[in-house]
Structure 1
Amino acid sequence: MTDFALSLNAVHRRFRQGTNELVVLKDAEFHMVPGEMVALVAPSGSGKSTLLHIAGLLERPNEGDVLVAGRSCGQMEDKARTAMRRASIGFVYQFHHLLPELSALENVMMPQLILGVGQKAASERAMELLDYMRIGPRAEHRPGELSGGEQQRVAIARAVSNSPQVLLADEPTGNLDPSTSDHVFGSLKSLVRQSGVAALIATHNHDLAAQMDRAVTLDGGRVVPLDLSVDPAR
């Protein structure tokens, strides 16, 4: 049996809008193995953010289950879900959300300190990641002193600082110019390959999606394979 880093099993998610019911995810099935990069390419309003939130344990499905590193999270209490999220899931967003008053090094240390890692070990791990992302010389700079690409590389380093099993990224290069986007994505891809984290990356950029192991989209609330070579949006 394959050991999945992330599994969504028969996930349903619906919302009430007055007297109407909006079905966003319907019997959604999705699985990722460690070290795999999967592109999530879907139009706005299709349920992409909801899928990422459920996969990241930020929302609960109405039905079905989410397994992270083989652990069922569907019925976990809030405290256990928070602990699982901190230890096993990393997040990267379109906007970096770095703490402006902290240096790059301190931003990458923060998730580790919250998890209980000692100051020295957290600093060493953070510096190792910043060096790997080729921004070590900028470690003492605050976000406002960094370029957009540098800020996003710090955000990626922060997301993997606790060695998560799953990395979820929502348009991680969507706010960058094409050249910077390519550099940041190259760093992200290299980090995924080196660390073995399973990465689900939502993107509208089909060129970046084509560099990943496979692509999926949402169709009628279900997760289905996407063949980029015949996609009409290309």
Structure 2
Amino acid sequence: MSARNAPVLLLENVQRHYEEVGKRLDVLKDANLTIETGEMVALVAPSGAGKSTLLHTAGLLERPNGGEVYLSGQACSGLNDRQRTARRRNDIGFVYQFHHLLPEFSALENVMLPQMIRGLSQSDAKDRAQELLDYMRIGQRAAHRPAELSGGEQQRVAIARAVANAPLLLLADEPTGNLDPETSSYVFEALEALVRQSGLSALIATHNHALAARMDRAITMQDGKLVPFDVKAAVKASL
């Protein structure tokens, strides 16, 4: 597959199962998904449906038991651990429900670290980290450690860290799930603006239909497969 015109993410008949006490649990069954450059896709599904498994497989944290995961046209299932780590570090950003910031470092240092691991100089990493925190409207809190930040501030730092290395793809697992409705909307607005401005592709798992409706399209999981989800109808039904 040519990388030039390839989608950022392509899942082709992906299968993922687990063995539990002698029983096989099939989570993904021939799952197919295409996400193009700049596309923002909502993943809406109930707890236990396999959203995290899908995100981990798409993000090269787990290997599929069958099928293929392509990033910008490159088949990734056959990559060794070092190659998979390099692709995650350079091309994929992760945001989780809990911020997972390093508590002993400041907000600025948390955003600097992935850049320095990639090889950027401390000075350049600091400049970009401050720029991202300013963009997320939290630049004035750059010197504060995570424990000194509110939940919404922590999550905005986590988002800045996720995009610090200018990835091709952002994967987010309930990024506003731990926040109150007002803070959730505020954080999502910042996330959406960053994704749109940078031209990122994003797959964002959320229970919030109103947030899902703001994305380009929505999908859900049914019996291990990925199918379109009519989020507008879901929002209307909830009114």
Please classify the TM superposition score into its range, dividing by the shorter chain length.
over 0.9
The separation in 2 between residues aligned to 1:63 and 1:146, in whole angstroms, is 42
Equivalent-residue separation in structure 2 for 1:131 and 1:231 (angstroms): 35
* Structure 1 equivalent of residue 11 of structure 2: 8
Conserved in 1, the CA contact under 8 Å of 2:70 and 2:76? yes
1: CA distance between counterparts of 2:99 and 2:167? Answer: 18
Name the residue aligned to 2:133.
130
CA shift for structure 1 position 3: 2.5
How far 1:131 moved relative to its partner?
A: 0.7
Residue equivalent to 1:182: 185
After superposition, what is the alpha-carbon deviation per residue over 1:84-108, rounded to whole angstroms, capped at 9, x for unaligned?
Answer: 1011000001110111111110000
Match of 1:229 among 208, 227, 232: 232
Query: CA–CA distance in 2 between the matches of 1:45 and 1:134?
Result: 34
| Separation of aligned partners in 2, 1:192 and 1:212 | 11
Matched to 1:30, the amino acid is L
SS in structure 1 opposite 2:79? coil
Q: How many Å separate the matches in 1 of 2:195 and 2:81?
A: 28
CA distance in structure 2 between the partners assigned to 1:179 and 1:230 by the alignment: 23
Correspondence for 1:59 = 62
Contact 2:10/2:32, CA 8 A, preserved across alignment:
yes
How many angstroms does 1:231 deviate by? 3.5
Deviation at 1:72, TM superposition (A): 1.3
Q: Structure 2 CA distance, aligned partners of 1:223 and 1:169? A: 17
Distance, in Å, in 1 between the alignment partners of 2:194 and 2:71 is 20
Shift of 1:230: 3.0
CA–CA distance in 1 between the matches of 2:144 and 2:71?
Answer: 34
Pairing 1:6-85 to 2, within 5 Å after superposition: 6-85=9-88
Contact map agreement 2:209 2:234 (CA 8 A) in 1:
no
Q: Distance in 2 between matches of 1:84 and 1:132?
A: 25
Shift of 1:163: 0.3
Q: CA RMSD in A?
A: 1.3
Deviations, residues 61-85 of structure 1 (Å, cap 9, x unaligned): 0011111122211110011001110
Q: 2: distance between equivalents of 1:143 and 1:162?
A: 21
Identity %: 64
Q: CA deviation at 1:20?
A: 2.3
Give secondary structure in 1 for the equivalent of 2:233.
coil
- SS of 1:83's equivalent? helix
What's the offset of the Cα at 1:16?
1.6
- Detail structure 1 runs of 4+ shifted over 4 Å in the superposition: none
Q: Deviations over 1:19-69 (max 9, x none)?
A: 322111111100111211111000111111110000110000001111112
Q: Secondary structure at the match of 1:31?
A: strand
Unaligned runs of 5+ in 2: none
Instruction: Structure 1: state its 5+ residue gaps.
Output: none
In the alignment, what sits opposite 1:165? 168
1:144, distance to aligned residue in structure 2 (A): 1.1
